[in-house]
């Protein structure tokens, strides 16, 4: 039985749907910020005063001079003009502004809905948790950026980039799950056809996203234009550098690229196996969502191959990252459906 009136349920559902949309846009803008090499253009963390961009020529010159002091400028943009700096600055500024807006778009309606008792009492823990994670995500964003501003670094740490992206997907998954619950009147658990298997697939998709972040952080997408081999070999000769040990898994660009490919194959095989195992069960909705996930994974794999072959053009790389969002959402929906489908 639903906790609230239909009008109440609709208002919360619309808000949660809007939050999902904001997080999706945030992830895409973050990917564009990364791919346009804009993430280090703002070298200071000013949560309040940083909401305003430079408002005069002198302010722009001041920000540009700060950027010239970090290693990335000399290594990658020594000939950059002020106009070119303004372009990358606005990507990062827009990313941060969107983060501020997401915080307000969550907090203000959330407290209003609490006051009006529009959220079931037993479901508020998830809202408090996702709110805390949004705040944590802002801090992790600066923690990530700061890794590219010190010593001789010319980019952010791939470990911190993966943490930042991984948490963004967790926040998105939580909002989407709560959106589905609100849309259906906060249902309780039911039959759980294939629930464990579906959960494993969702986690696998999330892990693949994390591995993709390591690929992006190391620029590993460009280490090979070949497919299905790499440099004429299925397992590239420099896959494992003995001196690096286990760090190969996270710091060897060839290793990271190859593992991302292999995870795609394992994920595809897992979705096929799940679909086959569900074929004799009555959970028709779960089967249909599994089929949709299979199609999405095939599309994403094909797009990843095309991105590699064409040397990671910006639009293909962005589309690949955006498609990963929807593969993940389908996987979350599969788990939610498997929990309730009869």
DSSP string, 68-100: HTSHHHHHH-TT--HHHHHHHHHHHHHHHHHHH
Across 17-54, b (16+ Cβ under 10 Å) vs e yields bebbebbbebbebbbbbbbeebbbbbbeeeeeeeeeee
pLDDT for 125 equals 92
pLDDT of residue 180: 93
Which pair of structure tokens corresponds to residue 220? 């590993």
Q: What are phi and psi of 230, to 5 degrees?
A: -135, 105
Token output for 293: 């996930």
Please compute, for residue 251, the number of CA atoms within 13 A of its CA located in the half-sphere on the CB side: 9
Region of 56 please: left (phi>0), alpha (psi -120 to 50) or beta.
Answer: beta
Q: CA–CA separation, 16 vs 180, rounded Å?
A: 9
How far is it, in rounded angstroms, from Cα 62 to Cα 43?
Answer: 11
Residues of the chain with pLDDT under 70: 1-8, 49, 189-194, 282-283, 341-342
282, with CB counted inside 10 A (0-12, 13-18, 19+), is exposed
Among the listed residues 288, 167, 310, 294, the one whose alpha carbon sits nearest the alpha carbon of residue 319: 310
For residue 193, what pLDDT is reported?
57
Rounded Cα gap, residues 162 and 141, in angstroms: 11
Give dist(CA 40, CA 28) in Å, integer: 17
Residue 230, helix vs strand vs coil: strand
Q: Tell me the C-alpha distance between 191 and 331, whole Å.
A: 18
Q: What is the pLDDT of residue 121?
A: 80
Which pLDDT does position 4 carry in this prediction? 45
- Name residues whose C-beta falls within 8 Å of residue 198's C-beta, 6 or more positions apart in sequence: 274, 286, 290, 331, 334, 335, 337, 338
Per-residue pLDDT at 5: 46
pLDDT value at position 69? Answer: 86
| pLDDT of 191 | 58
- Residues 96, 42: contact at Cβ < 8 Å? yes
Nearest CA-CA partner of 213 in 155, 154, 162, 137: 162
- What Rg do the C-alpha atoms of the chain give, in angstroms? 22
| Phi then psi dihedrals of residue 325, to 5 deg | -60, -45
Q: End-to-end CA distance of the chain: give it in Å, rounded.
A: 17
- Here the tokens at position 237 are 């000769």
Q: What is the predicted pLDDT for the residue at 189? A: 66
Distance between CA atoms of residues 250 and 139, nearest Å: 23
């Amino acid at each position: 039985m639903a906790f609230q009136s239909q009008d109440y349920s609709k208002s919360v559902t619309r808000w949660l749907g809007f939050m999902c949309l904001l997080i999706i846009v945030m992830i895409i803008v973050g990917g564009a910020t990364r791919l346009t090499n804009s993430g280090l253009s703002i070298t200071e963390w000013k949560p309040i005063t940083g909401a305003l961009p430079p408002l005069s020529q002198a302010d722009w010159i001041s920000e540009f001079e700060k950027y010239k002091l970090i290693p990335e400028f000399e290594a990658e943009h020594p000939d950059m003009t002020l106009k070119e700096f303004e372009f990358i600055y606005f990507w990062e500024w827009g990313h941060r502004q969107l983060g501020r807006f997401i915080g307000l778009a969550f907090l203000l309606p959330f407290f209003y809905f609490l006051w009006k008792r529009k959220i079931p009492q037993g479901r508020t823990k998830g809202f408090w948790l996702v709110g805390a994670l949004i705040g944590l995500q802002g801090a992790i964003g600066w923690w990530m950026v700061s890794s590219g501003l010190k010593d001789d670094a010319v980019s952010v740490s791939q470990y911190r980039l993966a943490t930042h992206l991984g948490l963004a997907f967790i926040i998105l998954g939580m909002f989407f799950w709560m959106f589905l619950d609100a849309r259906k009147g906060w249902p309780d658990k039911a039959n759980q056809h294939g629930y464990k298997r579906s959960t494993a697939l969702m986690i696998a998709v999330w892990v693949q996203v994390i591995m993709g972040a390591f690929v992006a952080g190391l620029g590993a997408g460009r280490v090979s234009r070949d497919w299905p081999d790499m440099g004429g070999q299925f397992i590239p000769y420099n896959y494992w550098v003995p001196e690096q040990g286990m760090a190969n898994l996270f710091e060897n660009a060839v290793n990271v690229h190859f593992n991302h490919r292999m995870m795609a194959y394992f994920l595809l095989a897992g979705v096929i196996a799940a679909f086959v195992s569900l074929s004799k069960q009555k959970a028709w909705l779960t089967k249909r969502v599994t089929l949709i996930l299979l199609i999405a994974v095939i599309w994403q794999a094909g797009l990843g191959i095309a991105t590699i072959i064409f040397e990671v053009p910006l639009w293909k790389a962005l589309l690949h990252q955006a498609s990963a969002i929807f593969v993940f959402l389908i996987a979350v929906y599969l788990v939610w459906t498997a929990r309730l489908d009869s």
